[in-house]
Structure 1
């Protein structure tokens, strides 16, 4: 954990499309840098159907793999530091090698102080993404076996995973041009707007209207005009964080 007194870079959260050579199971790359401004106590992490492979900095990079989250989780304290990584639709067969983590540690240290290091960090994450391998999809099995496999792999039931995936698709719809919320609820597969609102509060801690404002992609600042980032941007937040 770092003191905000040691920071000069602006807090941000961004998501980028994966490199073309990455496996289809790599959903996106992310970078989250904060001094507590975006992640104050009471904010939290959204429910997700994706695995999160995270790398944190320091003298040595540390890596962890978190399973899908079935619910919104509130923070007990604000976050001060930097974390980057990948979000995956399946558990990888192997974790990244130590040599790869060394380059990530250096890149994280640079981005902690300046946006100038973002291209190098993204390049290091791309390298990790392209090295990951995933088990082949199993052949057709019984419904009961598939349910057991889903819970063993993700830690949650298949029904809960399906509901969380619907919520993630809703977030994507909220980020683009969308119809009125009442129409969007039906398009997204909810019974009505009230049902959609209840799901958003359970999975994200806020109503759909607030999520629509938050999910809208922010324009790149002058310090983030590198085409290697700009052309792959999915989401950039500097004033309110979506995780």
Structure 2
């Protein structure tokens, strides 16, 4: 993985809705670039119950991988230092997707580690990947009991815990609206009240809501993400202000 000296751009976590025509199993596109700021040792991981198909830039070499979902928030043994980008899937695929060429993604990923100006080209490469992937037919509907068993088998957690993770992900996306008071934000995201939301933030991200909102406010990104086709798909941006 890259060293901190290789990463000159601000730490970044970016989520975009998938492009039109992408496989239905693709939930969103993501880019994560860090120098131990957003993922310090001992902190939680970004909330996800989803499988991750990603390409990792390793300074001249690349690796495509399909990773299982995080079963829960657990302390990191070490901070993340590098950059990774890819797609997150809404459910475990019945089979692994076909082979895809990582070269276009790798080239764009290497440029984004230095500057946000290359983000549109990386998004275009991710869009191409999302459109090329094919999966087996979606599973049929099941009884409630079978659904609970499948949810635990696919994610490692109960459906109740799964719902809590997805509620927290919804909350992260809502943080970008600075005009919405935290008390109202809690209700919009599906929490009982603000204290319930605060407990969730500390459990999943080890930070209070105010700190998370500070890092998830809307960004202009200069001209790098102002293209209408990209800007309208933006779900979540988390950066570190001190690095901008």
Q: Tell me the TM-score normalised to structure 1 length.
A: 0.82
User: Deviation at 1:85?
Assistant: 0.8
CA contact (8 A) 1:44 1:72 kept: yes
SS in 1 for 2:175: helix
CA 1:184–1:33: 2 relative to 1, 3 Å: closer
Q: Could you tell me how far apart the structure 1 residues matched to 2:180 and 2:118 are? A: 39
SS in 1 for 2:198: helix
| Structure 1 alignment gaps of length 5 or more | none
Q: Tell me the TM-score normalised to structure 2 length.
A: 0.82
User: Deviation at 1:179?
Assistant: 4.5
SS in 2 for 1:127: helix
Q: Could you tell me how far apart the structure 1 residues matched to 2:115 and 2:98 are? A: 25
Q: Could you tell me how far apart the structure 2 residues matched to 1:226 and 1:75 are? A: 35
Partner in structure 1 of residue 126 of structure 2: 125
CA 1:115–1:162: 2 relative to 1, 3 Å: closer
Q: What pairs up with 1:130-145 in 2 under 5 angstroms? A: 130-145=131-146
Please say if 1:14 is aligned against 2:14: yes
- After superposition, give the CA deviation of every residue in 1:5-25 in whole Å (9 maximum; x if it has no partner): 334444333222221111233
- RMSD over aligned CA atoms reads 2.8
Q: Could you tell me how far apart the structure 1 residues matched to 2:90 and 2:28 are? A: 10
User: Deviation at 1:107?
Assistant: 2.2
| Structure 2 alignment gaps of length 5 or more | none
User: Deviation at 1:76?
Assistant: 3.0
Q: Could you tell me how far apart the structure 2 residues matched to 1:221 and 1:42 are? A: 33
CA 1:107–1:199: 2 relative to 1, 3 Å: same
Partner in structure 2 of residue 39 of structure 1: 39
SS in 1 for 2:166: helix
Partner in structure 1 of residue 106 of structure 2: 105
Q: Could you tell me how far apart the structure 1 residues matched to 2:189 and 2:10 are? A: 35
CA contact (8 A) 1:30 1:84 kept: yes
User: Deviation at 1:129?
Assistant: 0.8
Q: What pairs up with 1:197-212 in 2 under 5 angstroms? A: 197-212=198-213
SS in 1 for 2:113: helix
User: Deviation at 1:202?
Assistant: 0.9
CA contact (8 A) 1:218 1:235 kept: no
Q: Could you tell me how far apart the structure 2 residues matched to 1:202 and 1:2 are? A: 29
Partner in structure 2 of residue 94 of structure 1: 96
Partner in structure 2 of residue 2 of structure 1: 2
CA 1:5–1:175: 2 relative to 1, 3 Å: closer
Q: Could you tell me how far apart the structure 1 residues matched to 2:13 and 2:107 are? A: 19
CA contact (8 A) 1:8 1:113 kept: yes
Please say if 1:25 is aligned against 2:25: yes
CA 1:178–1:87: 2 relative to 1, 3 Å: farther
Q: Say how many residue pairs are matched.
A: 240
Partner in structure 1 of residue 171 of structure 2: 170
